[in-house]
Amino acid sequence: MSRDAGGPEFKNVVETFEELRGLMGEPSEIALRKDIGRLDEHCRAFIARAPFVLVATADPKGRCDVSPKGDAPGFVLVLDDRHLLIPDRPGNKRFDGMRNLLENPGIGLLFLVPGSEETLRVNGRARIVRDPEWLARLAAQGKTPQLAIAVEVEESFLHCAKCVKRSGLWDRERWPNREGLASPAQMFRDHAKLSHVTVEELDQRLQDGYRKNLY
């Protein structure tokens, strides 16, 4: 398919893996062998220092979602070399990712450690769990989560630093100037068409929510 309905026309589309491989070549031996399929001592150490993880899911029709999760370093609990637990802290209750997991257990995780240019990729299958004894181990700030995502690891490997180096993610001198970027309150107001609420009122709601409902 060269054109999406109502979208731009692309006349030269890669449509097979063989075509992709022919264009881009073969991966290196290191790239092929770096997936260890489990969480060894290096993966565990990385996760123990990661305060942020991106959680990717997809529904049976292929519609995708990526949800950011964050807390104190080590908030994701490694149970053994094939299993980990991600606490579900209070959020917007859309449950986009969890709804996907109920229909398609496939999950992809990308762990970030501030200052580290490498990232850790973990892929596997997930379930939504509510076992009290496990949830108690995920408590933070005196609050125990109601749910957690239990992941059975199928792939695990360190991702090289090229994308972070190109982006300058941790280099303050390369961070873009945010002047002219609308405030989060303005974006929420415009996207949700909340004309009956002022930007100032919505910003106050956001700040109150951040203060009261992080856990």
Q: What are phi and psi of 22, to 5 degrees?
A: -65, -35
pTM summary value = 0.93
pLDDT digits (tens, 9 = 90+) for 102-151: 999 999 999 999 999 999 999 999 999 999 999 999 999 999 999 999 99
Q: How confident is the model at residue 3 (pLDDT cuts 50, 70, 90)?
A: low
Residue position matching structure tokens 């637990």: 85
Spatial CA neighbour of 148 closest among 213, 104, 89: 89
The percent of residues above 90 in pLDDT, for the chain, comes to 95
**Distance between CA 138 and CA 147 in Å, rounded?**
10
The per-residue b/e assignment along 103-129, b for 16 or more CB within 10 angstroms, e otherwise, is ebeebbbbbbbeebbebbbbbbebebe
Is the confidence at residue 36, as pLDDT, over 70? Answer: yes
Spatial CA neighbour of 124 closest among 39, 31, 32, 42: 39
- pLDDT for 5 equals 67
